[in-house]
Chains A and B, each alone.
Chain A
C-alpha cells in the first residue's frame, strides 16, 4: 500500500498545473484516506448489494402498504394488509408452523452435522479435502432433484415401503412417510446438511489440540472434555450453522409444495399464492415483510441468548 501511495502522490505531483486542480485534490484525498479506499474497494459489491437486495426490499416494503383493487394495484398508504394478517388466524398458524418446521430442521441438521464435522476435523488424517468435497457431492445435483429423490424414497411404493413389505415387516405401506410436515423436515435437513457441516468443521478445526491435552492431564474424561472444551470452542460454528439453516428454510416453498401434502404447507406457499393465483401482490408483500420480521426477531433473540450463555454461562 505504501509503495502505491507514494507512486500515486508522485504521479499527481508530476501532472501539469491545469489538471492538478480539483481532480488532483480528490485523488490525493482518496489516496490518503484509508476509509475511502476501503469503500472504493468494496464499491462493486456494495453497489450490487444495494441494487439486488436493498432496492427490492424497499420496493417490497412499499408494495406492502398498497392495496389491490381487482386487477389494479392502488398506491398509497394503508395498513389493510397487515390488518388482514392480524385478523386471520390461519395465516398466523401457517407462519408459526413454518417457524416450527424450520426450528426442527435446524436442530436435526445441526445434530446430524456435528458428528460428521467432528469426525472430519479430529479423526480424518489423510485426504481431508476429499472428505469435504464428498460432503458437497449431493449439491452437484439440483435441489428439485433431491426433493424428488426423497419422494421416491418415502413414497407409497417407495424404497422404504417396498423394502419393509418385501421383508414382511409391514403388510400395507406406511402412509405417514410422505405428504406431511415430517417429510418436509426430513428433506430439508438433508438438503441443508452441508451448510451446517462446513461452518462447524471450520470451528472445530481451529481448536488448539493442546487445550484438549491440558484438559486430559487435568483429569477430564472424554465426555467432560467435550462439553468443557470442544463444544464451547466450536459454538461459533454451531451458531453460524443454525443461522445458515434456519433463515432460508422458513421461506422454502418447493419442498412443502411437493412433499408437504395438504397439511404440510408453509408460509412460502401462501406468499407464492398471493403473487400468482390469488393475484394479491400487496398482501403477498405484507406477508413477506411479516415473516422477514419474525425471522429477524428470532435470530436476534438467538444471538443474544448464545452471547449471554458464552459470557455468563447458563
Chain B
C-alpha cells in the first residue's frame, strides 16, 4: 500500500478492516525487524570500550576520534560486577574500565591479557606511583593501565544537614534525623566498603565477624534511604532540590552541584574516604588489538585528563594533565597533583579473595531483598 494513498483512504474512511490489518502487520513486521538492522549498523570495526555509564563521553578519547574519525563502540554497565559476569558469559569487548582491586580476580578468571605499554606514547608521563598499584603489575607485565583516581565520600547540603558541631563522618549516612533523605550508591563495590570503613574493618584482613558487622550496619542504613542511586543525574537533582540531604558520592556530584550554585560540600570524613584507582584492562579475546591500544593511548592523553579533572574532578593518571590547570583552578576543584597524598589520606580499596568478594556480593543481594 502506498503511504499517501493509505492516508487519503483513512481520511475518507474507506479503509477496510482487512486493509488496516495489513497495515498493522506491515508496521509490526518492520518493528520486529528493526533491531536486526540497527545491530548490523552497529557492528562497526572500531574498538569496543566497555565502560561505566556516564563515561561514554567523546571528550575522553579525543585522540581516537582524530585518528579514526569515529568513536569506539560503547556498551556501558552500571556496576563492575555486572561487567565481570557479562564478559565471563561471552560478551565481546576490547577495553574495559574496572578498578585496580578487580584486576587479580579478573586475571584468575582468565579474562585479561597484558598491555603492550611500548605502544602507548603517553605511558612515560603516567604518575609512577600509579603504575605499580598492587595487583596490576607482575614480572614487568602491565595488566592494568591506571586512568583516574579519587575517593568516595559523603556529599551533603551545608544548609540542610546540621552537623551539630560534630566532625564530618560516615555516620552522617546513618543519621536517623534525616530518615528518608539519605542515599547511597547502588553497588556493593562502593557502599559495602564505605560501611566497612565506618565499622572500622581492616581491609587487609576481612573476617566473618567483620562481614556480619557491616551487614548489620547496612540493614540499619537501608531503613533510612530515599533511594540507591545508579545514575548520578538523579542524585544531583535530588540533592539540588533537597529531596536528599546527604549521599555517598564520587567527586563528580559535588563539583556539578557547586557549579550550579547549590550549597554542598564533599565531606572530609574523619574515618577517611574510600580511595581508589580505576583504569583500563585489555580483554583476552580482544578482536581489535591495535585499535584497543590506540584507544588506551587516547585515554591517557592530557586532553582526556582535562575532561577527567575539569568536569568530573577525578585525578587523571597523566602528570601532564594537571599542567593544563592553574593552581587556583585545582584548589577550587579540590584537586592536587599528588596522587599518593590523596590515596593515602583515605582507605584504599584493595583486592580481596574470591570467597570474600562473592560473599559481599551475595550479602548485598540479600540486603536488597530484605525490605
Contact = CB atoms under 8 A, between A and B. Distances in A.
A280 B197 CA distance: 27
Interface residues of A, number: 32
Nearest to B238: A156
Given A129-B15, A156-B243, A261-B227, A273 B371 contact: no
Nearest to B244: A156
A273 B368 contact: yes
12 contacts: A70-B354, A127-B13, A155-B237, A156-B243, A173-B241, A265-B368, A265-B369, A276-B85, A276-B86, A277-B79, A277-B188, A278-B361
B180 interface: yes
A68 to B, nearest CB: 9
B12 to A, nearest CB: 12
B226 A261 contact: yes
Given A179-B227, A279-B81, A279-B358, A263 B241 contact: no
A175 interface: yes
Nearest to A269: B368
A91 interface: yes
Nearest to A280: B362
Given A71-B109, A179-B226, A278 B364 contact: yes
Contacts of A262: 222, 225, 227-228, 368, 371
A9 interface: no
A270 B368 contact: yes
B241 A157 contact: yes
Name the prevailing secondary structure of the B interface residues: helix
A47 B364 CA distance: 41
Nearest to B241: A157
Contacts of B361: 277-279
Interface in A136-159: 155-157
A302 interface: no
Contacts of A127: 13
The 10 closest A-B pairs by CB, nearest first: A156-B243, A278-B365, A277-B81, A276-B82, A157-B241, A273-B365, A90-B369, A90-B370, A263-B371, A261-B227
A57 interface: no
B88 A71 contact: yes
Interface string B215-253: 000000010011110100000011001110000000000
Interface of A: 70-71, 88, 90-91, 93-94, 126-127, 129-130, 155-157, 173, 175, 179, 257, 261-263, 265, 269-270, 273-280
Residue from the set A90, A126, A277, A279 with the largest chain B CB neighbour count within 10 Å: A277
A275 B85 contact: yes
A270 B85 contact: no
A262 B368 CA distance: 7
A126 B11 CA distance: 12
A103 B10 CA distance: 38
Contacts of A91: 369
A179 B365 CA distance: 19
Residue from the set B20, B79, B366 with the largest chain A CB neighbour count within 10 Å: B366
B355 interface: yes
A275 B371 CA distance: 20
Nearest to A94: B369
Contacts of A265: 368-369, 371
Nearest to A275: B85
